[in-house]
Chain A
């Protein structure tokens, strides 16, 4: 158990809908990262937050957004969902400098029908 929790574990929704994925980092970790895992693209970095502020953006679509709250939990919002958004979404956390290790949560499997 990495100490990172994600909810829900599974999510099934329809095209055009909006969903919110939630992540609670390990106790004390200030950084939260979101990754998307699909069969064709592999593990892709989406976005990073550090202590409430956006730190880096990767291959994140404009339909997707995220935020980190004062209690350090994070939410990833996916809107106007398309079939191609079906994937595993992972959250990872790290303590930040100088420790680079990222610890991944169990993921949320999103299925868009």
Chain B
């Protein structure tokens, strides 16, 4: 059972455009939603994260939009650059006594110059 569904699987955007990646979750016990960026041969790097009591969070060119009632959240990358080309993963954390992350399957973003 895939608890976090991510789409699209791949995305091609022109330089300067907006990249949008969507995720949906099922478990209402999730209480923290991070996005990770991964370059080939590297580990995932924390990009930005949001808690469900906030509907939007912005850090530079990266924005998370969160819709608690729909159990959906999305990553927007404004003014996309070729250096943003990477795989992006959404994740959700279970509450309680452990902080394990459940990841989406990832989106391969390519930004063409």
> Is the Cβ of B46 less than 8 Å from the Cβ of A101?
yes
Q: Can you list 6 A-B contacts (CB < 8 A)?
A: A31-B99, A45-B100, A45-B102, A56-B100, A94-B99, A101-B34
Given A100-B32, A100-B93, A101-B49, A45 contacting B44 (CB threshold 8 A) = no
Query: Which residues of A does B touch, CB under 8 Å?
Result: 2, 4, 31, 33, 35, 42-45, 48, 50, 55-56, 58, 90, 94, 96, 100-107
**Chain B interface main SS type:** strand
> Is the Cβ of B97 less than 8 Å from the Cβ of A55?
yes
**Set of chain B residues within 8 Å of A55, measured between Cβ atoms:** 97-98
User: B45 contacts the other chain (Cβ, under 8 Å)?
Assistant: yes
For B, the interface residue count at a CB cutoff of 8 angstroms equals 22
Query: Which residues of B does A touch, CB under 8 Å?
Result: 32, 34, 36, 42-46, 49, 89, 91, 93, 97-106
- Please tell me which one of the listed residues A43, A94, A96, A105 contacts residue B89 in the complex, with CB atoms under 8 A apart: A43
> Is the Cβ of A33 less than 8 Å from the Cβ of B45?
no
Min CB distance, B47 to chain A, in Å? 11
Cα(A22)–Cα(B101), bound, Å? 20
Cα(A48)–Cα(B32), bound, Å? 17
User: Which of A33, A43, A44, A105 lies at the interface centre, i.e. has the most chain B CB atoms within 10 A of its CB?
Assistant: A43
> Is the Cβ of B32 less than 8 Å from the Cβ of A42?
no
- Please tell me which one of the listed residues A2, A42, A48, A101 contacts residue B105 in the complex, with CB atoms under 8 A apart: A42
> Is the Cβ of B103 less than 8 Å from the Cβ of A56?
no
